[in-house]
């Protein structure tokens, strides 16, 4: 996909002291690649260490003079690297090694091992440097003290031990220097400064801009389909019909909903409000815009999937007129491209710049768009497997509020009755969030 040579293997290795956001960066990149359709996986050194050496390792275990522990940690790191290499050999595209890798010697061992395992592998090193003690403390609080390493300590003890652990690493930390001849990105204080050295190629340059836009500000992202359209009533695809009467009612109620979500003028002025150029979305957005006194940005990128020769037909008509196509789409809805139209994979490529825009924004984001487009956007944040994308449930008259956090994405679904304005929360999605949160937790904390 995306103009990249798929036989090209990519290894991304993190560098940095503990609590510098390496896992955050690794997970973000992993999600991004998987969403783009690459086979990507993260290999976390710490997980191997916990599995092999157990979880009750206090800061003394990380003392560089503790030879026995050093040997055990080095063996774990080698296992992680070997698993990454095996993953790439078995068809993986991008392997991400999430570890501290703070010495030149270690980096050279890894670089050599990767080069001798693959012809022409691209290795990118990402070093995260942070000297803002508030950010570090916050990171420890959010992601470390609930870690199984600290299951027998209270949060104060855990924080002290973790800070001591960092001191152990500081004794031998060597930042990446140009004489190491590595391709690297150095990001300082969560993207405040970035150094890029010898980073070439299509995909690696994308990583640079992805890293430049990362931040951890919690802000909500609201997704809503337009109000019911005339084509929705007739069950027709494509076209550019306007809202039905019910759709107009939804637009009014949606405006009321957002008015309550953003009570002050300051917050309203901060909102990034995006919509498509299609009549039904523009109409819905205009009603919201009027009430909130803000302007939506109309993006062609957010227009609904182009259904090509099936434009204006009902699904029954498509099945009758183009039975082979209908069947083909049923079998492979993700990859099926409507003749002279688009597939879901095309949509993912199309909306990639919108993902960058959302990632970049530190303000609330409101998007009023279409079913297929929102499926693709939602899948990115919710980390759905790519084959699930075309069947995700994105109903009419429902606002999906996503709040991405460091390691998971909070979700709330609000159903709005277009006639009465009555609001109800879809409980199963709240539970789904709790489930996916615990699923992800076990992944980091294994």
From candidates 254, 372, 389, 416, binder to ligand F6P by CB under 6 A:
372
Residue 359 is a catalytic residue: no
Interaction pattern, residues 237-266, with ligand F6P; x per rule: CB under 6 A: xx----------------------------
Instruction: Give the span between the Cα atoms of 410 and 432, in whole angstroms.
Output: 10
x/- letters, 379..418, toward ligand F6P (CB under 6 A): -----------x----------------------------
Is 141 one of the annotated binding-site residues? no
20 is in an annotated binding site: no
Active site residue: 111, 127, 304, 342, which one?
304
Residue 38 CA: distances (Å) to CA of 5, 92, 118: 11, 8, 18
Q: In terms of Cα–Cα distance, which of 337, 336, 310, 136 is closest to 239?
A: 310
Nearer to ligand F6P, 34 or 371 (CB): 371
Least distance in angstroms from the C-beta of 198 to ligand F6P: 42
Site size toward ligand F6P, by CB under 6 A? 10
Check: CB of residue 408 under 8 Å from CB of residue 436. yes
What gap in Å lies between CA 55 and CA 77, rounded to an integer? 16
Report the residue number whose CB is nearest to ligand F6P.
237
Alpha-carbon distance of 167 to 244, in angstroms, equals: 64
Comparison of 99 and 390: residue with beta carbon closer to ligand F6P: 390
266 known ligand binder = no
- Residue 357 is among the residues annotated as catalytic for this protein: no
CB 327, min distance to ligand F6P, A: 14
CB 166 within 8 A of CB 130: no
Closest contact distance (angstroms) between CB of 371 and ligand F6P is 4
371: contact with ligand F6P by CB under 6 A: yes
99 binds ligand F6P per the rule CB under 6 A: no
DSSP codes, 195-251: EEES--SHHHHHHHHHHHT-------EEEEEPSPBHHHHHTB-SS---B-HHHHHHH
The residue among 174, 172, 173, 147 whose CA lies nearest residue 161 is 147
CA dihedral sign of residues 122, 32, 359, 300: positive
227 annotated ligand-binding residue? yes
Q: Contact at 8 Å (CB) between 335 and 343?
A: yes
Residue closer to ligand F6P by CB (options 261, 304) is 304
Please identify which residue in 305, 345, 347, 358 interacts with ligand F6P, judged by CB under 6 A. 305
Select from 368, 424, 82, 142 the least CA-distant residue to 247.
368
Binding residues vs ligand F6P (CB under 6 A): 232, 237-238, 304-305, 307, 370-372, 390
Q: Which residue positions form the known binding site?
A: 225-232, 280
Q: Which residues are catalytic?
A: 226, 304
Q: Which residue positions form the known binding site for substrate?
A: 225-232, 280
């Amino acid at each position: 996909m995306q103009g990249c040579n798929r036989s090209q293997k990519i290894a991304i290795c993190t560098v940095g002291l503990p609590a510098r956001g390496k896992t955050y960066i690794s997970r973000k990149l992993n999600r991004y690649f998987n969403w783009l359709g690459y086979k990507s996986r993260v290999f976390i050194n710490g997980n191997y260490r916990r599995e092999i050496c157990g979880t009750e390792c206090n800061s003394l275990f990380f003392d560089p003079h503790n030879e026995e522990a050093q040997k055990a940690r080095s063996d774990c790191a080698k296992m992680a690297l070997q698993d990454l290499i095996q993953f790439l050999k078995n068809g993986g595209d991008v392997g991400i090694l999430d570890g501290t890798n703070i010495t030149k010697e270690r980096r050279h061992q890894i670089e050599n091992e990767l080069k001798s395992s693959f012809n022409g592998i691209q290795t990118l090193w990402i070093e995260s440097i942070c000297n803002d003690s508030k950010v570090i403390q916050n990171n420890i609080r959010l992601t470390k003290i609930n870690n199984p390493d600290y299951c027998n300590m209270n949060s104060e003890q855990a924080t002290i031990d973790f800070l001591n652990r960092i001191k152990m690493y500081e004794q031998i930390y060597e930042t990446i220097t140009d004489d190491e001849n590595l391709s690297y990105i150095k990001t300082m204080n969560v993207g405040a400064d970035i150094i890029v050295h010898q980073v070439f190629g299509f995909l690696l340059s994308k990583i640079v801009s992805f890293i430049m836009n990362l931040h951890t500000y919690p802000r909500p992202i609201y997704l809503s389909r337009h109000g019911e359209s005339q084509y929705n009533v007739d069950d027709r695809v494509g076209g550019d019909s306007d809202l039905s009467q019910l759709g107009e009612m939804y637009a009014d109620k949606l405006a009321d909903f957002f008015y309550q979500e953003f009570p002050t003028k300051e917050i309203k002025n901060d909102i990034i409000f995006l919509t498509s150029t299609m009549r039904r979305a523009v109409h819905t957005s205009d009603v919201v815009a009027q009430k909130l006194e803000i302007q939506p940005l109309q993006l062609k990128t957010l227009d609904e999937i182009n259904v090509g020769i099936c434009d204006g037909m009902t699904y029954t008509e498509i099945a009758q007129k183009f039975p082979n196509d209908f069947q083909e789409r049923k079998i492979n809805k993700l990859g099926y491209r409507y003749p002279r139209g688009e597939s879901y994979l095309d949509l993912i490529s199309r909306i990639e710049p919108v993902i960058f825009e959302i990632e970049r924004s530190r303000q609330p984001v409101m998007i009023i768009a279409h079913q297929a487009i929102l499926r693709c956007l939602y899948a990115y944040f919710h980390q759905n497997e790519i084959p699930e994308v075309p069947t995700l449930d994105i109903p009419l008259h429902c606002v999906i509020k996503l709040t991405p956090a460091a390691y998971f994405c909070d979700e709330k679904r609000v159903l709005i009755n277009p006639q009465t304005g009555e609001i109800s929360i879809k409980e199963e999605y709240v539970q789904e969030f709790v489930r996916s949160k615990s699923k992800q937790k076990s992944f980091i904390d294994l």
